[in-house]
Amino acid sequence: MPRSLSLALHHHHSSFISSLTLAYISHGLIHSAHLLFHTIPSPSPYLYNLMIRSLTNHGHFHHSLGLYSSLLSSTTHRPDKFTFPFALKSCAALSDIHNGKQIHQHSICLGCENDPFVRAALVDMYSKCGYIDSARQVFDKMPQRDLVSWTCMISGYAHNGCNFEVLEFFHLMRSSGVRPNRVSLLSTLLACGRLGALCKGQCIHGHAIHTGFDADVLVATSIIDIW
C-alpha cells in the first residue's frame, strides 16, 4: 500500500474515533468515551481537556488524574489553562494534596498560574485539602478577585472551621463591591450559627433578601437555624 494512502487511512480512522468519542461524551456515556479515547493514536489537546473535564464532572476523579498524567508525559501536547482547573478539582474531591501541589507547580512552569480560573481552582483545592494558609497565599497574589475567587476563599474558611475569617472575608467581599452568591451566603450563615452571632446573622439575612436568595430552601433553613 502506498505510504500516502496508508497515512490518509490512518488519519481517517483517528478522526472517526475522535468524533465517536465526542458523541459518547455529549450523550453522557463517559465510561465508553474513556475506553474509546485510549484507542486514539494522537488525541488533540481539545479532546484531552474535554475528556478530563467530563471525567471530573462525572465523579471519575482517579481516571481524570490518570489522563492528566498521560497528557503531561505526551511528547506533542502539554496541559494548559483549560486543563488545570479540572485536574485540581479532582484533587480537591479526593483531598489529594500531593498531586495538588505537583499540579500547582506544573501550572507555574507552564505559565498558567495567573489565569483566574486556575487560581480559583488552586484556592478551592488547598482549602478542601485542609491547607487553608496555602489557599490564602494564592488568593492574596491574585491581581483581581472575582465572585468565584471570593466564594472559594469564604467557603474554604467555612470548610476548615475558621468562622471569624468567614465573617471577615464576607465583609471584605461586600466592601469590594462584589455581590454575594448562594454559596457565600450559606457559608457565612453557617459561620454565624457556629459563633452564635445573631446580629451578624440578621445582617446576612438582609443581604439574602436584597439579592433574592432568601427564597432558596437551604438559605432559608440556615437563617432559621441562627434564630
Provide long-range contacts, Cβ within 8 A and 24+ apart, for 220-225. Answer: 222/185, 222/186, 222/189, 222/190, 222/193, 223/189, 225/189, 225/193
Q: Is the pLDDT of residue 2 over 50?
A: no
Which is higher by pLDDT, 109 or 75?
A: 109
Average pLDDT over residues 75-95: 95
Residue 170 amino acid letter: F
Report d(CA 137, CA 200) in Å as an integer.
27
Cell of 116: 483566574
Q: Is the pLDDT of residue 12 over 90?
A: no
Residues 6+ apart with CB under 8 A from 117: 81, 85, 148
Is pTM beyond 0.75 here? yes
Instruction: State residue 188's pLDDT score.
Output: 93
The proportion of the chain whose per-residue pLDDT surpasses 90, expressed as a percent, equals 63
Instruction: State residue 227's pLDDT score.
Output: 63
pLDDT in tens, 133-146: 999 999 999 988 99
Instruction: State residue 13's pLDDT score.
Output: 56
Distance of CA 156 to the CA centre of its chain: 13
Model confidence band, residue 27 (pLDDT cutoffs 50, 70, 90)? confident
Instruction: State residue 212's pLDDT score.
Output: 81
Average pLDDT over residues 68-95: 95
Average pLDDT score, the chain: 88
If one counts every other C-beta atom within 10 angstroms of the C-beta of residue 5, the result is 9
pLDDT in tens, 151-194: 999 999 999 999 999 999 999 999 999 999 999 999 999 999 89
Residue 140 amino acid letter: D
Q: Is the pLDDT of residue 209 over 50?
A: yes
Instruction: State residue 41's pLDDT score.
Output: 81
Model confidence band, residue 204 (pLDDT cutoffs 50, 70, 90)? confident
